[in-house]
Copies of this chain bind each other. A is one copy, B any other.
Amino acid sequence: MTEAEPPPPLDPAELGAYFALIEVSSLLRHTVEQQLRDAGDLSYVQFQLLATLGDAADGSRRMTELADGVVYSRSGLTYQVGLLEKAGLVARGPSAEDDRGVTVTITAAGRDVLARVFPGHIDVLRQLFLEPLAPEDVDSLARVLTVVRDHMRAIPPRSAKPRRKGTARQSPPGGGA
């Protein structure tokens, strides 16, 4: 029971940063989603997936890598990749070294769609997000948020949280403190 800690009120700045972060990301995501729907009939997740794949050297990623990149449940990923595959925008194939792995590759049609929606996407970003910011603001935002991102990524298990089977499992070897 470690909870005799001092009561934790947050600074106004801390609260402000938190609320503004949530609000901004929600609003942004919402607007972007509409844009993507119009321009290419893509959901935001689908766009993120295609963009991630398009960014990869050979246009391929493992399912797990995709799930890690986009914060998403495994099952949801399976569903969306299924949709993208059905639409012909990606292809699924076996993984080279690991027979249980699945490699997802973006198709030419996928790159097409990506190219079609990207300009509008950037437009929305500019108008809604970047417009009121000075270059230095953008810099500082990028810097600070990157620090937070790295911190968050370092804390929890990246994906595949330990699967609780029956009763308490002993801690596996490799105990780092």
Contact = CB atoms under 8 A, between A and B. Distances in A.
Interface of A: 3, 7-11, 13-14, 16-18, 20-31, 71, 119, 122-123, 125-133, 135, 137-142, 144-153, 155-156
Contact of A8 (B25, B123, B150): B123
B20 A139 contact: no
Contact of A145 (B20, B31, B127, B149): B20
Given A13-B142, A17-B138, A26 B127 contact: no
A141 B141 contact: yes
A105 B122 CA distance: 41
Contacts of A7: 119
A137 B144 contact: yes
Contacts of A9: 122
A-B complex: 3 closest residue pairs judged by Cβ atoms: A20-B145, A25-B25, A16-B142
Task: Give the most central of A133, A138, A146, A152: most B CB within 10 Å.
Answer: A152
Question: How many copies of this chain sit in the oligomeric assembly?
Answer: 2
A37 B16 CA distance: 23
Contacts of A144: 133, 137, 140-141
Given A21-B25, A29-B22, A152-B24, A11 B145 contact: no
A103 B143 CA distance: 42
A11 B138 contact: yes
Contacts of A24: 21, 25, 145, 148-149, 152
Nearest to A48: B22
B129 A8 contact: no
B18 A125 contact: yes
A105 to B, nearest CB: 22
20 contacts: A9-B122, A10-B122, A13-B135, A13-B138, A16-B142, A17-B138, A20-B142, A21-B24, A21-B25, A24-B149, A24-B152, A25-B26, A26-B71, A28-B152, A127-B155, A128-B155, A129-B148, A132-B151, A137-B144, A141-B144
